[in-house]
A and B are shown apart, each in its own frame.
Chain A
Amino acid sequence: MTSGLLIIAPAWNEEGAIGGVVRSVRQILPDTPILVVDDHSDDATASIAERSGASVLRLPIHLGLGGCVQAAYKLAFELGYEYVIRVDGDGQHPAEEIPKIYDALVKTGYEVVIGSRFVGADHAHTSVARSVGINFFRAMLKPILGKPIHDPTSGFVGVNRRALQVFSRTFPLAWPEIEVLVVLQRRRFRFCEVPCAMKPRATGKSSITPVKSIQYMLHVLLGVFVNVLKADPVARRPRSS
């Protein structure tokens, strides 16, 4: 059912959640390999992931989310995978939703499919501050992408081999989700969103603090601006899809 698919789970100090994430993926997709990318955790994330049945890619230094995800994309590309779906290591992305993303990748042929908590989902677990940020980025991205995006900060993302090839060469290193959308547009890649339920993080605390939120906004704004500047006008015209 899911041939050529690799599930990746970037994780940093997620010993409380990663075992559950791996087990739930293995329960839903027993034949699909899962790769946990351990971003140089201080805790037992890597060993718990391994014991739970995942392969573990251990980063020798802490790279941050973008570097962590890109390492997995590089490995997946080298190993010849056709599709990669990313789930967060904190348990927010239910394994039951993975087949929806996989089916959309295969059926549409789009380079990227985003699991969205705001398209047709009943509940969206998100803070007020994050909602404000999401709305801001929605408004900003719409004219750039040429179509609306409902959940621009979602990390529940599936990519096909064409996207893997590009992302293994160039990928935003710090907070990748939004910048990646602009990179997609530059490459004339197509994306769609599929409705996915999401859960609050299973254990532990989010690393996002108020100061980091401001850093995030500024960094992403600059990243989007730079990527828009890099774009050539012809490539930015959306393909008919």
Chain B
Amino acid sequence: MNYHPLLVALGLAIVIVTLTSLRREHIRTEYSVSWLLLGVILTAFASFPNGLERLSGAFGLQPTVGFSILGGILVAALTFEISHVVSRLRDENVMLAQRLAILEYRIQQFDKQDRGATS
């Protein structure tokens, strides 16, 4: 079975969905690059299987295996990037929540002092 058209469609779908999400501002530009890269690489290798065959051959692999490994690497890279972003957001979230709580606390203390001074 020739699976290349299916992979081309999948690659194009990734590119189109990513670009649409970018246009609608559902995803930020800096986090779209990996997805676009994944879509383009998938489309390119599925459209020009000779390139993938040569690349796989250089490592002594069947093209199917080479394609799976390549896909796995790209997905792993994407997942790692997402973990990185989520971790940073979590840290920032904690910091902001702490800062907000501290500011709220200090405002309340000032209010109490103020009320004490005026009464």
Contacts and interface: CB of A to CB of B under 8 A. Distances in A.
B62 interface: no
B29 interface: no
Interface in B24-66: none
B97 A59 contact: yes
Complex A-B, nearest 9 residue pairs according to Cβ-Cβ distance, in ascending order: A71-B98, A67-B94, A59-B101, A57-B105, A75-B102, A61-B97, A60-B97, A57-B101, A60-B100
B98 A74 contact: yes
Interface in A32-91: 55-61, 63, 67, 70-71, 74-75, 78
Interface in A16-35: none
A57 B102 contact: yes
B81 interface: no
Counting contact residues on chain B (CB < 8 A from A), the size range is 10 to 19
B72 to A, nearest CB: 24
Contacts of B98: 59, 63, 67, 70-71, 74
B83 interface: no
Nearest to B98: A71
B48 to A, nearest CB: 43
A123 B67 CA distance: 63
Contacts of A63: 94, 97-98
Contacts of A57: 101-102, 105
A139 interface: no
22 contacts: A55-B105, A57-B101, A57-B102, A58-B101, A58-B104, A58-B105, A59-B101, A60-B101, A60-B104, A61-B97, A63-B94, A63-B97, A67-B94, A67-B97, A67-B98, A70-B98, A71-B97, A71-B101, A74-B98, A74-B102, A75-B105, A78-B102
Interface residues of A, number: 15
Interface of B: 93-94, 97-98, 100-102, 104-105, 109
A173 interface: yes
Nearest to B94: A67
Contacts of A67: 94, 97-98
Contacts of A173: 94
A59 B93 CA distance: 12
Interface in A204-229: none
Contacts of B100: 60
Contacts of B102: 57, 71, 74-75, 78
A60 B98 CA distance: 8
B113 to A, nearest CB: 13
A55 B112 CA distance: 12
Contacts of B101: 57-60, 71
Nearest to A40: B97
